[in-house]
């Protein structure tokens, strides 16, 4: 008899199960709009040319070795990542009030943040947008948070943000609640607050003494402009908030499986920042001891070299422009077909994802009848579209709705 016999079967993780179902599906044509990864116009994964070039340089460097990195990772990486987020001339950075820690991609950054907030600050309540990237809940509850709550975000009627609902919910949140905010390119809705709305969010959070936990998984990838995509985080920092921000380099560098992430801490006192860093060091040491080198070294090399940095900025423009043009193409086709309803949200949403407005039944119909794989929530990855399949997908949506 097994010791493990009472372990219950866990539920499948939708996005991975969907990906497997797509790969196993022998039918053609089929389209994968599920998993959140960039695809080029031929539907293939894209290794950014600047990443390839950097890897070649690294392969020829006889001084690189496989020694352990420090517990908090490569300093040249975490400093450059924090500067990318807060801006080169950020006063908190130069005054020693902010620092970065190299962690295991965006998810690892969130996990480390949740661990710190739960164990060190004893925070117990967190809020996510309704809806949010589904993993926020698992990460925060696994790290010890007992009270998971939602603030209103998506309004199905306007297919935009329910801003009044959001503000109302923040106003009634208990002091010291951790509010998870998507820095840009909200996943899954593709709807970001305007700058005026961010100002109001900051005002309420200050009034109610709420803690901002930013999740920045798409800097540069969203608008094509790294400064623009960091605006909200920088605004909160300028307003004097202490905060954490999880940064992922999976999408904007195309380094999904290298697990390159940074967790930025912003405190309002230098001595406090030093103590915080010492506790994070112990936390990492007790979890995985130290992070991997390869991906972080690629990012550090690119961010610290003006020529490569420019090449990278050109690459994120290529990706964001392609997404933008697929949004336009899809909307045009849906409108030309006379698909019922408004499709304006497809082009006004930003980033990799679009919340189409299709319900669970319609999304399942898209899979079963047309082999177009998408999440039950109606979320599609715009990168899965290309000039060859956009007609097919538009027609599938049209037929599903009619």
Spatial distance between the Cα atoms of 402 and 395, rounded to a whole number of angstroms = 10
Residue number, 39 or 182, with CB nearest to ligand PMP:
182
Residue number, 112 or 397, with CB nearest to ligand PMP:
112
Smallest separation, CB 133 to ligand PMP (Å) = 4
Smallest separation, CB 112 to ligand PMP (Å) = 12
Report which DSSP code applies to 188: T
Helix (H, G, I), strand (E, B) or coil at 243: strand
Residues at the site binding ligand PMP, with contacts judged by CB under 6 A: 36, 105-107, 133, 182, 187, 215, 217, 248, 250, 261
Cis amide bond preceding 131, omega within 30: yes
The full 3-state SS of 298-336, as one line of letters, equals: HHHHHHCCHHHHHHHHHHHHHHHHHHHHHHHHHHHHHHH
Smallest separation, CB 215 to ligand PMP (Å) = 5
Residue number, 90 or 105, with CB nearest to ligand PMP:
105
Residue number, 247 or 389, with CB nearest to ligand PMP:
247
Spatial distance between the Cα atoms of 32 and 21, rounded to a whole number of angstroms = 10
Spatial distance between the Cα atoms of 265 and 82, rounded to a whole number of angstroms = 9
Residues 221 and 251 sit within 8 Å (Cβ to Cβ): yes
Element (H, E) at 379: strand 379-381
User: What are the backbone dihedrals phi and psi of residue 317, each rounded to the nearest 5 degrees, phi first?
Assistant: -65, -40
Estimate to the nearest angstrom the gap between the alpha carbon of 257 and the chain centroid. 15
Residues 58 and 301 sit within 8 Å (Cβ to Cβ): yes
Ramachandran category for residue 263: left, alpha or beta (phi over 0 → left; psi -120 to 50 → alpha): beta
CA distances from residue 280 to 113, 117, 120, 167, 178 in whole angstroms, order as listed: 9, 11, 10, 32, 18
Question: Which residue spans within 132-251 are E strands per DSSP?
Answer: 147-152, 154-155, 160-161, 178-182, 211-216, 243-248
Catalytic residue set: 133, 215, 251
Spatial distance between the Cα atoms of 224 and 291, rounded to a whole number of angstroms = 29
Spatial distance between the Cα atoms of 127 and 381, rounded to a whole number of angstroms = 25
**CB neighbourhood size of 165 (10 A):** 15
Helix (H, G, I), strand (E, B) or coil at 176: coil
Smallest separation, CB 354 to ligand PMP (Å) = 14
Smallest separation, CB 338 to ligand PMP (Å) = 33
Smallest separation, CB 16 to ligand PMP (Å) = 12
Spatial distance between the Cα atoms of 373 and 384, rounded to a whole number of angstroms = 10
Residue number, 90 or 187, with CB nearest to ligand PMP:
187
Residue number, 173 or 250, with CB nearest to ligand PMP:
250
Smallest separation, CB 217 to ligand PMP (Å) = 4
Residue number, 258 or 329, with CB nearest to ligand PMP:
258
């Amino acid at each position: 008899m097994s010791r493990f016999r009472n372990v219950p079967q866990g539920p499948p993780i939708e996005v991975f199960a969907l990906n497997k179902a797509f790969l196993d599906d022998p039918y053609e044509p089929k389209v994968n709009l599920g998993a959140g990864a960039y695809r080029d116009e031929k539907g293939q994964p894209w290794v950014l040319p600047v990443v390839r070039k950097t890897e070649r340089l690294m392969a020829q460097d006889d001084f690189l070795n496989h020694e352990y990195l420090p517990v908090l990772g490569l300093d040249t990486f975490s400093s450059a990542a924090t500067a990318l987020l807060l801006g080169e001339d950020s006063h908190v950075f130069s005054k020693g009030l902010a620092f970065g820690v190299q962690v295991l991609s965006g998810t690892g950054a969130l996990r480390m943040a949740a661990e710190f907030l739960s164990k060190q600050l004893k925070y117990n309540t967190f809020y996510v947008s309704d809806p949010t990237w589904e993993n926020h809940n698992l990460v925060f509850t696994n790290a010890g948070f007992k009270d998971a709550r939602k603030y209103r975000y998506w309004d199905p009627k306007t297919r935009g943000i329910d801003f009044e609902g959001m503000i109302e919910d923040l106003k009634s949140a208990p002091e010291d609640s951790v509010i998870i905010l998507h820095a840009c390119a909200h996943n899954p809705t593709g709807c970001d607050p305007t700058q005026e709305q961010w100002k109001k969010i900051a005002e309420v959070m200050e009034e109610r003494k709420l803690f901002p936990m930013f999740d920045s998984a798409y800097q540069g990838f969203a608008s094509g402009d790294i400064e623009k995509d960091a605006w909200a985080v920088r605004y909160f920092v300028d307003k004097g908030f202490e905060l954490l921000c999880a940064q992922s380099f999976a999408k904007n560098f195309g380094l999904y499986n290298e697990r390159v992430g940074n967790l930025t801490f912003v405190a309002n006192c230098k001595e406090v920042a030093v103590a915080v860093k010492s506790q994070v060091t112990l936390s990492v040491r007790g979890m995985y001891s130290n992070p991997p080198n390869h991906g972080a070294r690629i990012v550090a090399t690119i961010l610290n070299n003006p020529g490569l940095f420019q090449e990278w900025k050109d690459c994120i423009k290529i990706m964001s422009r392609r997404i933008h043009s697929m949004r336009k193409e899809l909307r045009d086709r849906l409108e030309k077909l006379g698909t019922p309803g408004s499709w304006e949200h497809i082009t006004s949403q930003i980033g990799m994802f679009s919340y189409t407005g299709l319900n669970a039944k319609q999304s399942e119909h898209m899979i079963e009848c047309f082999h177009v794989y998408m999440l039950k929530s109606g979320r599609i990855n715009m990168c899965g579209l290309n000039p060859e399949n956009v007609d097919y997908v538009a027609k599938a949506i049209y037929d599903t709705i009619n």
